[in-house]
Amino acid sequence: MFRRPKVALALGGGAARGLAHIGVLEGFEKHGLPIDMIAGTSMGAIVGAMYALDPCAARLKGRFQAYLDSEEFRETRFNQLADQEEAEAGLFDRLLQLAWKGIFYTLVATRRSYFGATTSQQNFALMIDDGTFEDARLPFCTTALDLVSGEEVVFSQGSLRRAVSASCAIPGLLPAVHDDGRILVDGGWIDAVPVAPALRLGAEVVIAVDVTRSLDPCGELGSAIEIIGRADSIARWRLGLERSRHADLVLCPRNNGSHWADFSQFEEAVAAGVQAVDAQLPDLRRVVFGQTWGDRLRGFFRGTSSPSGTAVHRRG
C-alpha cells in the first residue's frame, strides 16, 4: 500500500528576509501540501515555533503583523539598522545614517549585545507563547551555536521560548543565552538551513527554505567592521549552500535586495514565499507525495536541476 513520506520544512535564517517563511507556509496550505514537522534556525525558528504551536498560516501572519505594529517593536528601532539607499537619501538623512552607525558600532564594541536581555525577552514574549516543545501540535526542533565548544546544539524539548531565543541571538545584536555552561547564539552561524536536524527529527523528505541563497552585492567597504561583515556574509552564504545541498528540494523566495533588518516590507516578503511555492508546485507535489519508479529513473538520467533558481537534490 502506498504511504507518502513524512515531510519536514527546514526554515533557514535571514532576519527580515525570513518573513518569506510565512508565505511558504501559506502556499503549502493553499495547495494542500502536507507539513509533518518543522526545523528552524534564527528567523526560521520564530516562524517555525509559532506555526508548530498553532498550524494556521493566516493566524501566524496576523500575529506577526500585530507584533511589528506594536510599541515594543517600534522602541527597538530595529529598522534603523537597515541602510538607506544613497540615491534616495538626502544629505541630512545621510548624516543621520552615519551618526546612527557610529552610535551602533560604539555600543556593540563596548557591550555584550546591542539589545539588553529585558528588551529581548519582552519582544519574544509577543511572538512565542510560554510553552514547551511538548505543547507543539507539530514536531519541531531548533538549533543554536555554543560559543564554548563550537558545537551545534539542537533543541527538541524543554522551554520553547528559551530555545528560540538562543537560536535568534544574533552575535553582538541580541544577548546570548547561558545554558548549563554553554553560551548559545544564533544557529545560523553553524547551520544556516537546518536540513540535518530535520532528518534527525524523523523526516523522510526535507524541503529547505533558503532566503539568503544569493550573495548580496558588495557595497562600500569603508571601515574594518564593514570588511569583517562582508567576509562573514560570504562564509555564511557558502555554509548555507553546503547545508541545503542535502535537502530533497530547496525553495528560494526572492528578496529583491531587501536589507536583512528591513521589516517594513512585510507583505512583499510574505508574497515572495507564496510565489516560491507556486513556481515550484509540480516539483513539490512530486517530492512530497512520492515519486514513481519511472520518475526516479527519469530524474537519474536527466540530472537534478530545476528552473527558477530552485534546486532539487537527491540525498545520499
Per-residue pLDDT tens for 266-297? 999 999 999 999 999 999 999 998 754 445 44
Residues 139 and 120: their CA atoms lie apart, in Å, by: 25
Global pTM value: 0.81
- Considering only 8-17, 58-67, 122-131, 302-311, which range has the smallest mean pLDDT? 302-311
Share of the chain above pLDDT 70, in %: 76
Active-site choice (42, 113, 120, 258): 42
Residue ranges of domains in the chain, CATH in brackets? 7-302 (3.40.1090)
Which listed residue (36, 146, 186, 283) is catalytic?
186
How do residues 203-252 score in pLDDT, each as one tens digit? 999 999 998 766 766 777 777 767 877 787 787 777 767 777 789 999 99
Region of 175 (left: φ > 0; alpha: ψ -120 to 50; beta: rest) is beta
Split at pLDDT 50, 70, 90, the class of 153 is: very high
Residue 186 catalytic?
A: yes
Helix (H) or strand (E) holding 119: helix 117-127
pLDDT, tens digit, 9 for 90 and up, residues 119-144: 888 888 899 988 999 999 999 999 99
Question: What percentage of residues in the chain have a pLDDT greater than 90?
Answer: 51
What is the C-alpha separation between 170 and 185, in angstroms, rounded?
6
